[in-house]
């Protein structure tokens, strides 16, 4: 990243030598990522982060389809950058029917029958589905879900922000969204892919930035960092994913050996590097703290660890236990060379940590 800041300080819009060099670097970064995603460079725009790309992708699809209707169909486990605007727009219009949440099963996979039925509701303008969930790892049946959309002429936004670069790149979509963080790129770079066949337009006058799709210039060093991260990640993707998958399997097995534990999400059809489990009668916040004390950093979807004091909407939508929850997102081995040792430490510490936290709770 230091090299990227050194090389990419100039403004790509300027005509002086430094500006022209910056423009060339931005074009190169775009072409590396576009080639990796299998799309034409002019269809790929940089946004200030993945959630912004989700919001813009959705907004443009919706505006372009405004004569069809305003209804959004989305799985209940989608990113809040999809669900919150969808719910808000329906509430603002005073028409709850404008938001069509589609339930998932206990593994977190969308019900295709319910998906098709939701698309059939009149006024459906746009649909959104993740390639895989970033909390529980479960992959969605994208090809089948997209086919249902195509048959009805409804555009599908695919959110690949959880696994892009780590898992196979989605091929079934009308809009594709990614986040450089999923492939160890810098924060603050989202990817928005709009194939020419897709009808997409933002309200208001067109901008002159990123093909008229964003109104904020990409930060060049971040774009360079994203392209470099992509190149490094894909070079080792298959081997890294195999190793990550095996490490996640050991974490799943270690958690499952602890009584009253729910290992959440599909055990096989999932992202290679994500695992979530919930321990009954344990406090999620205490568990994160207890593991942190032992030098192991994990996340949690439990309500007590969130700023809103609401549990993870993903776990709740799956009917999974939300308390006593921990989540591990394995970094790339090239980023964290001690990854295997860290997982071994977690697996070794987990039974004691859970027992300690459960004992603390019983005393309350």
Partner 1 sequence: MTPPGDPTGDPTVDPTVDPAESDAATVTVDARGLRCPLPVLRLAQALAQQPPGTAVRLLATDPAAHTDVAAFVRMRGLLLLGVRVEGEHTAYLVRGVSATAPEAAPSGPPAADPGMPPAAPPARPTTPGEA
Q: Which of residues 306-345 bind partner 1 (CB under 8 A)?
A: 309-311, 315-324
From residue 214 to residue 253, what is the string marking binding to partner 1 with x (rule CB under 8 A)?
A: ----------------------------------------
Q: How far is the CB of 37 from partner 1 (least distance, A)?
A: 32
Q: How far is the CB of 164 from partner 1 (least distance, A)?
A: 26
Query: Judged by CB under 8 A, which of 106, 144, 246, 359 binds partner 1?
Result: 106
Query: How far does Cα 193 stand from its chain's mean position?
Result: 15
Contact in structure between 131 and 149 (CB atoms under 8 Å): no
Q: How far is the CB of 299 from partner 1 (least distance, A)?
A: 17
Q: How far is the CB of 313 from partner 1 (least distance, A)?
A: 10
From residue 109 to residue 148, what is the string marking binding to partner 1 with x (rule CB under 8 A)?
A: -----x----------------------------------
Interface size with partner 1, residues (CB under 8 A): 44
The interface region with partner 1, picked from 17-25, 205-213, 297-305, 346-354 by CB under 8 A, is 297-305
Query: Judged by CB under 8 A, which of 200, 302, 327, 339 binds partner 1?
Result: 302
Contact in structure between 124 and 116 (CB atoms under 8 Å): no
Q: How far is the CB of 71 from partner 1 (least distance, A)?
A: 20
Please identify, using beta-carbon distances, which residue of 227 and 286 lies nearer to partner 1: 286
Query: Judged by CB under 8 A, which of 31, 35, 68, 76 binds partner 1?
Result: 76
Please identify, using beta-carbon distances, which residue of 146 and 323 lies nearer to partner 1: 323
Q: Does 96 bind partner 1 (CB under 8 A)?
A: no
Between CA 335 and CA 120 the distance in angstroms is: 45
Please identify, using beta-carbon distances, which residue of 188 and 324 lies nearer to partner 1: 324
Between CA 172 and CA 42 the distance in angstroms is: 19
Q: How far is the CB of 100 from partner 1 (least distance, A)?
A: 14
Query: Judged by CB under 8 A, which of 53, 244, 263, 298 binds partner 1?
Result: 263
Please identify, using beta-carbon distances, which residue of 33 and 129 lies nearer to partner 1: 129
List the strands of the sheet with 175-179, edge to edge.
44-47, 190-193, 175-179, 156-159, 124-130, 71-75, 99-102
Q: How far is the CB of 58 from partner 1 (least distance, A)?
A: 23
Q: Does 283 bind partner 1 (CB under 8 A)?
A: yes
The interface region with partner 1, picked from 8-16, 213-221, 304-312, 332-340 by CB under 8 A, is 304-312
By CB under 8 A, name the binding residues for partner 1.
Answer: 76, 103-107, 114, 255-263, 266-267, 277-278, 280-284, 302-304, 309-311, 315-324, 361-362, 364
């Amino acid at each position: 990243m230091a090299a990227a800041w050194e090389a990419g300080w100039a403004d790509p819009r300027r005509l002086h030598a430094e500006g022209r060099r910056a423009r060339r670097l931005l074009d190169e970064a775009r072409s590396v990522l576009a080639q990796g995603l299998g799309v034409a460079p002019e269809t790929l725009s940089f946004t200030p982060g993945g959630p912004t790309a989700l919001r813009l992708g959705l907004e443009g699809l919706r505006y372009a389809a405004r004569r069809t209707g305003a209804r959004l169909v989305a799985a209940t486990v989608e990113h809040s950058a999809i669900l919150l605007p969808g719910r808000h727009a329906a509430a603002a219009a005073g028409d709850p029917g404008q938001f069509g949440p589609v339930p998932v099963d206990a593994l977190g996979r969308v019900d295709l029958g319910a998906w098709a039925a939701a698309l059939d509701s009149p006024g459906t303008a746009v649909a959104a589905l993740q390639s895989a969930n970033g909390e529980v790892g479960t992959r969605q049946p994208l090809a089948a879900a997209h086919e249902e959309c195509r048959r009805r002429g409804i555009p599908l936004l695919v959110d690949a922000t959880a696994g892009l670069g780590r898992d196979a790149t989605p091929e079934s979509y009308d809009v594709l969204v990614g986040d450089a963080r999923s492939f160890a790129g810098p924060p603050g770079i989202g990817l928005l892919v709009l194939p020419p066949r897709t009808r997409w337009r933002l309200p208001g006058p067109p901008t002159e930035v990123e093909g008229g799709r964003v109104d904020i210039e990409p930060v060049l060093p971040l774009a360079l960092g994203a392209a470099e991260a992509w190149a490094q990640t894909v070079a080792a993707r298959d081997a890294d994913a195999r190793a990550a998958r095996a490490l996640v399997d050991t974490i799943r097995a270690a958690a499952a050996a602890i009584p009253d534990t729910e290992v959440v999400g599909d055990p096989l059809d999932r992202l290679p590097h994500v695992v979530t489990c919930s321990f009954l009668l344990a406090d999620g916040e205490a568990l994160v703290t207890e593991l942190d004390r032992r030098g192991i950093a994990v996340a949690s979807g439990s309500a007590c660890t969130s700023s809103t004091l609401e549990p993870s909407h993903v776990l709740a939508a799956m009917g999974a236990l939300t308390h006593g929850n921990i989540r591990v997102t394995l970094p790339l081995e090239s980023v964290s060379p001690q990854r295997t040792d860290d997982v071994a430490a977690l697996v070794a510490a987990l039974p004691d940590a859970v027992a300690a936290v459960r004992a603390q709770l019983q005393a309350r």
